[in-house]
Chains A and B, each alone.
Chain A
Amino acid sequence: MTNLLNENNYGLFFKLIFLGLLDAIGIWASVLLYFQGAYGFIVALLLGAATINYVFLSDRTYPIRYMVPGLIFLFAFVVYPIGYTFYLSTTNYGTGHILSKQQAIESLKGQYYQPEDPVSYSFEAYKNNQGDIKLILQSNTGDKTYLTGGEKLTEVNLGNERFVDSDEDGTIESFGDYELMSRTEVIGVLQKLQKWKPEANGVALQMSNLTTFDQRISRYEYLEERDRIRDRQTGELFRPEEGTFVSTTTDRSLEPGYKATVGLENFSRIFTDPMITGPFLRVFTWTFIWAFMSVLTTFVLGLGIAIILNDSRLRLKPLYKGLLILPYAIPAFISALIWRGFFNTNVGIINTKLLQPLLGLSPAWFQDPLLAKVAVLIVNLWLGFPYMMVVCLGALQSIQPELYEVAKVDGASPFQQFRKITLPLLMVSVGPLLIGSFAFNFNNFNIIFLVTRGEPPIVGATTAGSTDILISYTYKLAFGGQGATQYGLAAAISIIIFLIIGTISAINFHYTGALEEMSENV
């Protein structure tokens, strides 16, 4: 009994140290995050820490303690990303809509135009001992004089005594510790000066030649109270509409746009925007055909081999089984990359060693949509049938041999035995696995992306290829690096995939009664 108490005390001791450390780290991290302005993370962190403290201190929540480590990762990297995907699917996030609205307005304000008759400023450059450079700019109209260090224009009066013009030729020789630079010296820093765009009150200057800066005017101004952008050059007004500033009078819109929620816009684009609908429907259809054909081909071959191997009198059975399982043991990404080489039109061994010598053919596997589809199905058959073989073999062995004896006595042909006994009994145990295999192949990214990369391209489509399935299409939209990235659209397609997979799983649960069984067992 004393022993038990001691151990409990140890437990309490370690628990308090653990929680103390955790809270200390949590508070320290919150302070750091506060200075970074990451308030969302702070809320998540504090909620998480509070929950953990509660779970470890209250006796009622004892079982939850075992789940804490897993739940942290499950929430952070599965549940939260699912929610975030739903959120992203309602935004226009992507190329041209990366910035926040405020950043987009700033970016627009940074665009300048040169008025038809710009005011020119002649300049002299000055340098101090540290190598800093300043310019004195005088307008050709003679009414403005500015001093600048590169960013801000400060209006100055050269009559001030700090500006020294000892020879009284009208050119200032020095001010403060800055000394006049010769034109040769100016040429030395030309590259630097060309990048300068000093500005004040919407007036910006930019170097136009060795002696002058020209005036540029900030093209857009933001009218805050009306939430409009005004184009100073044309006088046009732009109103914000779902992440883009669009003209109120013409069909012009401004670049860049900004990130905004657009409701179900992405989903409606999938079904109405002709640039997307066509490719999407082809990808969508092929995804189903691909998943179905993958299951069908691997199952037929796997079952056929299983039936042959199920013959107990067959010699060499372990050898056959051992060798046939090999493709399944090799990681799929490696097999896919190898097969991509084999299918190479000019140098791949399928053409050079098999088809060319035997049939005189040399098909361009990845340029023809149909052949590319055949190629990925062949690869998938190669690495997928051993799974079906093993599964069917297990299921066949559980069928009682007496059933066949009886059938033979009744005069059933082998084919009838197969149809009436083998197949129905097999389906009971293998059926759900076929649906599972369908769902897996539905998202079989590795085979598609690593064998054909979704190619050949669909004519008229920017991103989608003939062998792309929904998941590889999503990947290309978001990370493809070809053309514009469309995170919002990619997230919307993820949601569609999720709905399809969810439906398939629901069918599977219904079919096997697994959910009811699980509900009873839990």
Chain B
Amino acid sequence: MFNTKSIFKRFWSWFSDRGFKHLIMFAVLAFVLYPIIWIISASVNPVGSLSAQSLVPDNPTLENYRLFFLGGANKYDAPFLLWLWNSLKLSVLTGLIGTAMSALAAYAFSRFRFTGRRTGLLSLLLVQLFPQMLAMVALYFLLLQIGDLAPWLGLNTHTGLLMVYLGGSLGFHTWLLKGFFDSIPHSLEESAQVDGASHFQAFIRIILPLARPMLAVIFILTMIFVYSDFILASILLQDSSQYTLAVGLKLFIFGSYNQRWGIFAAAALIGALPIVAIFLSLQDQIVAGLTQGSVKG
């Protein structure tokens, strides 16, 4: 039985029911993937300029990736690997120390009743409404003054920038963790305390292991925030050897898009890789954490 009309009818009913949805999805996918495909193509294109780019490059090569790993020895004299290392170092350290500090504070707010507790929690929330970058001028002068007295803590140092990030990472995460700790039953610690454990030991041995998933989310959110920060790092760091990837890459490419496109494409892809990998593997937890508060930068 061959009936054109019925085949057309069946196609139309499929299309109007679900088919058009695939069509829309393809259109959106094109919008999303178009830049990504181009940047991947640029990174393996032996012709490093933006104007000479083609979607499928002739003679693809990994030369741009090789240049990335050469550090200051590459022909652009740009220490990409050092910048990447600086970014990773600052993000991981802020993540670890910041999460530890938030967890300590959150434990106190969750498990103890003391005068000023309520005020403390609410002030923490209010302080956090002031995005830290709004105080950029003040932070600049603060580090300038600290640097006069202790150069290793002042402007253009990673310790100085780390301290600034730590200050900013605290408020909201303390709230998030306090909420999580509240949901852990007290009975577990109480039985440990009967066995002679101190509050601090109960915190380390019982609460922290139970809160591991939440701690991981906060560690990663902090890490992503620091890794993506441009404004504070660009104000507080001044030498190429101190730059994070965000600052270094911006200065590297601004004004030289045409000539440096190929190597930039490789650097951008490598730079995105750590965060993309972490994000995709922990997607659900991260989004859950984000929807409870801040939005990723």
- Which residues of A pack against B, CB within 8 Å? 1, 3-4, 7-8, 11, 32-33, 36, 38, 41, 60-67, 69-71, 73-74, 76-82, 84-85, 88, 301, 304-305, 308, 311, 313-314, 316, 320, 322-335, 337-342, 344, 346-349, 352-353, 382, 387, 390-391, 394, 433, 436-437, 440, 443-446, 449-450, 453, 471, 474-475, 478-479, 487, 490-491, 494, 497-498, 501-502, 505, 518-519, 521-522
Contact = CB atoms under 8 A, between A and B. Distances in A.
A338 B268 CA distance: 8
B231 A36 contact: no
Contacts of B257: 340-341, 344, 347-348
B159 interface: no
Interface of A is mostly: helix
A326 B40 CA distance: 14
A337 B105 contact: no
B113 to A, nearest CB: 8
Interface of B is mostly: helix
A311 B257 CA distance: 43
Nearest to A497: B134
Contact of B117 (A7, A440, A502, A522): A522
A333 B135 contact: no
Given A11-B198, A478-B137, A497-B134, A342 B35 contact: yes
B68 interface: no
B1 interface: no
A387 B296 CA distance: 9
Interface stretch (B4-12, B56-64, B140-148, B210-218): B140-148
Contacts of B149: 32-33, 36, 38, 41
A14 B142 CA distance: 33
B294 A440 contact: yes
Given A73-B167, A84-B135, A387 B118 contact: no
Nearest to A506: B129
A36 B50 CA distance: 53
Contact of A445 (B121, B230, B254, B275): B230
B287 A390 contact: yes
Contacts, number: 282
B291 A498 contact: no
Nearest to B234: A479
Contact of B228 (A82, A331, A436): A331
Contacts of A331: 224, 227-228, 246, 271-272, 275
Contact of B231 (A80, A338, A475, A501): A475
A67 B112 contact: no
Nearest to A6: B196
A287 B294 CA distance: 19
Contacts of B246: 331, 333
A445 B132 CA distance: 13
B275 to A, nearest CB: 5
Given A63-B114, A313-B18, A324-B28, A332 B297 contact: yes
Interface in B86-137: 100-102, 104-105, 107-109, 111-112, 114, 117-118, 120-122, 124-125, 127, 129-137
Contacts of B101: 69-70, 73
B187 interface: no
Contacts of A63: 108, 111-112, 114, 117
28 contacts: A1-B196, A7-B198, A38-B145, A62-B112, A62-B199, A66-B105, A70-B174, A73-B170, A78-B167, A84-B138, A311-B21, A314-B18, A314-B21, A316-B22, A331-B246, A331-B275, A333-B230, A346-B258, A347-B258, A387-B290, A387-B296, A436-B295, A446-B228, A446-B231, A453-B254, A479-B136, A497-B134, A501-B130
Given A78-B130, A349-B53, A334 B268 contact: yes
Interface string B273-287: 001100110010001
B135 A85 contact: yes
B264 interface: yes
Contacts of A308: 21, 24-25
A337 B257 CA distance: 10
B253 interface: yes
A62 B203 CA distance: 14
B94 to A, nearest CB: 10
Contacts of A475: 136, 231, 235
A347 B137 contact: no
Contacts of A347: 49-51, 257-258
A66 B134 contact: no
A330 B35 CA distance: 12
B168 A78 contact: yes
A188 B109 CA distance: 75
Contacts of B122: 518-519, 522
Given A81-B132, A88-B138, 16 more contacts: A62-B114, A66-B107, A70-B101, A73-B167, A73-B170, A81-B142, A84-B138, A304-B24, A333-B249, A341-B261, A344-B257, A347-B258, A353-B55, A444-B297, A478-B136, A502-B130
A3 B287 contact: no
A505 B29 contact: no
B259 to A, nearest CB: 10
A440 B295 contact: yes
Contacts of B228: 331-333, 446
B31 interface: yes
Nearest to A348: B50
The 10 tightest CB contacts between A and B, nearest first, are: A77-B167, A81-B135, A63-B112, A66-B108, A347-B51, A84-B138, A329-B279, A81-B138, A70-B101, A440-B295
A162 B275 CA distance: 79
Contacts of A67: 104-105, 108, 120
A85 B101 CA distance: 25
B272 A436 contact: no
Contact of B18 (A311, A334, A348): A311
